Structure 1
């Protein structure tokens, strides 16, 4: 056979070749118990030119793949860790309090406070709208007044606090002052009254009204937190004094505008005394 005939014969054989997985399965003969290839769950490896092409691609991919580093075991490389998706933390809604629970919570807080507490602070603690807290405080105060309790809920110094009613002040005073001395002297009370009604006022003006030097009394009132400095007088440069929020708290007032009028307590010749002190 010549070379030309040999090449034609090989080409014909390659063209007529059918892969094993495409060949029809011959029928099973009776009595043949040998397992078939498809029953074993594996496929017969392909042969021929397709096998060579697949093997070449696999070898090229293996050569292009970088070798494992020293920290990687024989089992394979450590997979890259993808950053975890950030979870958005949604705050839980504040528990909804009914009117009875809100009223009880406010009363419990007001019983333990030692100074007036603002509506905004109460609303923040209870996690409720300030408008609802303010309305409930007004309702509580009106209920105490209507029921005739011996105490009342009152606005004072920009906040809310429980106070005894004025009509029972004599009994409270008798209980508090039983066996105790008055905290402020008469001179301190007079000086504090001058500051309350004339504020802001200088020490020299206070001394002129009282007729005595009041430097020591002013220092006592400042130390006790009832009076504080509030700048200086433009003409003389002297310090000005005014009452503090503690003063309002002790008297149960919200502002100094609620002080009782002074005219009924002044003598008839007040104008003559005022001219004499100038």
Structure 2
């Protein structure tokens, strides 16, 4: 009996496989976790961590699992597969509206393509005051402050790492080539400029669909 007890204790104390340890961490993180952090926590060389992550991603793809492992925003995180989006949306939303409005999508697109940019510049592009929408995007963590314009003293804004995470992109270089639809910065001075067409596209393709609160308002 003593031998059985000792064996059970050894089994409990044994370190789990590296892949299992990484999976366990991935299941509890609320943002992409980088390879350096994983290497430090698991006391394992970064190269080995990277190889294991790539192996796990390939295993999930080969098995056709309902989730996938992506490298986004400088780290790794588990995501549900795009083909399962409709099912997940029904489960999460349960009929409730939790999406961005058309105004919020257009404003977010302007910030994404012209960052760092001030609220006044964004309003000039869209032809309407965007202060309220900018506050909504900032509150939701999609947009963040990026310093102050040295000439005007206006606060500048940029998209956040959470924005990249939501779109499943590694960097802004992955944005669709839609910059030609936006006026140049030196053309943004007029407060009466009309909104550019198609500005909502990059956000829509990411799942940030129209319908969420982000009501356009002054001030």
Q: TM-score, normalised by structure 2?
A: 0.71
Aligned residue number for residue 62 of structure 1: none
- C-alpha distance in structure 2 between counterparts of 1:96 and 1:104, whole Å: 13
Q: 2:110 aligns with which of 187, 190, 194?
A: 194
Task: Tell me which of 162, 178, 183 is aligned to 1:262.
Answer: 178
The answer for unaligned runs of 5 or more in structure 2 is 1-12, 195-219
- Quote the residue 2:161 is aligned against: 245
**Match of 2:17, SS?**
helix
Point out where structure 1 has 5 or more consecutive residues left out of the alignment.
Answer: 1-94
Quote how far apart the aligned CAs of 1:132 are: 0.7
Deviation at 1:183, TM superposition (A): 4.1
Q: CA deviation at 1:198?
A: 1.7
Q: Distance in 1 between matches of 2:82 and 2:70?
A: 12
Rounded to whole Å, the distance in 2 between the matches of 1:226 and 1:147 is 33
> Larger radius of gyration, structure 1 or 2?
1
Distance 1:185-1:167 versus aligned 2 partners, 3 A rule: same
Q: Deviation at 1:260?
A: 2.7
Query: Per-residue displacement from partner, 1:27-77 (whole Å, max 9, x unpaired)?
Result: xxxxxxxxxxxxxxxxxxxxxxxxxxxxxxxxxxxxxxxxxxxxxxxxxxx
- Equivalent of 1:102, from 11, 14, 18? 18
Name the counterpart of 2:86.
Answer: 170
Select 2:47's aligned residue among 131, 137, 144: 131
SS in structure 2 at match of 1:277: coil
CA shift for structure 1 position 150 = 2.0
In the TM superposition, what is the alpha-carbon distance from 1:96 to its structure 2 partner?
10
Cα deviations by residue, 1:89-147 (Å, 9 ceiling, x for unpaired): xxxxxx997xx811111111111211111111111111111111011101111222222
User: What's the counterpart of residue 90 of structure 1?
Assistant: none
CA distance in structure 2 between the partners assigned to 1:183 and 1:169 by the alignment: 14
> Separation in 2 of the partners of 1:96 and 1:125?
17
What is the TM-score with the length of structure 1 in the denominator? Answer: 0.57
Count of residues in Structure 1 that have an aligned counterpart in Structure 2:
176
* 1:51 paired residue number: none
Give the number of the structure with larger relative contact order, counting CA–CA contacts within 8 Å between residues 6 or more apart: 2
Alignment RMSD, CA only?
2.7
CA contact (8 A) 2:113 2:179 kept: no
Distance 2:162 2:135 in 1: 16
Cα distance in 2 for residues equivalent to 1:202 and 1:249: 23
The Cα shift of 1:214 comes to: 0.6
Residue number among 232, 240, 255 corresponding to 2:148 in the alignment: 232
